[in-house]
Amino acid sequence: MAVITKITTQQKNKDRFNIFTDDGKGEEYAFSVDSDVLIRFQLRKGMEVDEFSIVEIQYQDDIRKAYHLAVNYLAIRMRAEKEIKDYLVKKEVDEPVVNEVLHKLASQKYINDEEFALSYVRTQKNTTDKGPDVIRMELKEKGINESTIKLALAEYPIEEQVEKAIKLSEKLLKKSTKESQRLVKEKAEQMLVRKGYPFDIIHSALNEADLDKEEDEELEAIRFQGEKAHRKYSKYTGFEYSQKMKQALYRKGFSIELIDKYLEEIEKS
C-alpha cells in the first residue's frame, strides 16, 4: 500500500496535478490527473492508495484526457461518431476509453449522427456543386448508416438537384463556345456524373437546359476547330485531305451536313 506524500500543480497545465507516493522505499512520482479526477477520488496528502485504485484512477484520467481531445476536435465543426472514433484511435487512445468517451459525448448530445447527416447535406447542397450520389458516398465514408443517409438526402429534393444541374450545364456551355453542341452536351453529362448526379436527374437537366446553339454559333465553332484540323492535315490534298478533315470534325461532334458546308466554304476561300 502506497501513501500520497505530495500533490503539485503542473507548470504548463494548471488543471493537471502530479501525484507523489511512498510505498516504503521513499517518495517518488506516481501518476498525474486532472482536477476532475482529483476531486472525484478525493485525492489528498496522507491518503493510502493500493495498486487497484491507482489503475482505476489512471483509467478515469485517460477518459478525461480523451474526452478533452474529442471536445476540442468537435469545437472546429460537427462530427460524425466514426470521425471522432477514428481521430481518437489515431491519437493512440485505447478502445475501451474511446467507447467510454463516445458514450459520454452521445449522452451530452455532443454527437448525433442523424443531426450531423442532415446538417452535412444542407451544407453541401448550399455551398458546393455536389450531387446526391457524391454526398451519399461521403456520408457512408463517415460511418453514417444507409437509413440515416436516406433520411438526410430528403433535404436535397429532386427539383433542386435538377435546377443545380441545369445551371452547371449552362455554365459549361458559356465556357465552350468553340466546341460543337453535341460535344458540349456530352461533356455536360460526364461532368454531372462526376459530380454525383443520377442519370435521371442528368437527362431531365439536359432536356431543360438551354444548350442549343444558334446556327451561326455552331458555324463559328466548326471554323475554329476546322482551322486547327487544317494545320494538322494541310500536307494532304484532294480526297485524302477531305476525309481526314471530315473524320476530325466528326469526332469533335459536328454533323456531316455542317462539316460539308464548312469544307465547301474553305474550298471557295
Residues 6+ apart with CB under 8 A from 161: 131, 132, 197, 198, 201
What tens digit of pLDDT does each residue of 83-138 get?
999 999 999 999 999 999 999 999 999 999 999 999 999 999 999 999 999 999 99
The whole-chain average pLDDT of the chain stands at: 93
Q: Where are the domains of the chain?
A: 113-153, 158-208, 219-268
Model confidence at 211, pLDDT cuts 50, 70, 90, reads low
What tens digit of pLDDT does each residue of 3-15 get?
999 999 999 999 9
Residues 6+ apart with CB under 8 A from 67: 101, 104, 105
**pLDDT average, residue stretch 151-170:** 95
Q: What is the pLDDT of residue 269?
A: 66
Whose cell is 470521425? That residue is: 83
Which secondary-structure segment (H or E) carries 99?
helix 95-107
The CATH fold of domain 158-208: Arc Repressor Mutant, subunit A (1.10.10)
Question: Rounded to whole angstroms, how far apart are CA atoms 150 and 21?
Answer: 56
Q: What is the pLDDT of residue 133?
A: 97
Q: What is the pLDDT of residue 219?
A: 81
Q: What is the pLDDT of residue 213?
A: 64
Answering whether pTM is above 0.85, one says: no
Sign of CA dihedral 48, 13, 28, 60: positive
Query: Which of 15-24, 71-80, 213-222, 258-267 comes out lowest in average pLDDT?
Result: 213-222
**Whole-Å CA distances, 16 to 30, 35, 97, 101, 122:** 14, 6, 19, 19, 40
Domains 113-153 and 158-208 fall in the same CATH topology: yes
**pLDDT average, residue stretch 176-205:** 92
The CATH fold of domain 113-153: Arc Repressor Mutant, subunit A (1.10.10)
Q: What is the pLDDT of residue 210?
A: 73
266 vs 169, more confident: 169
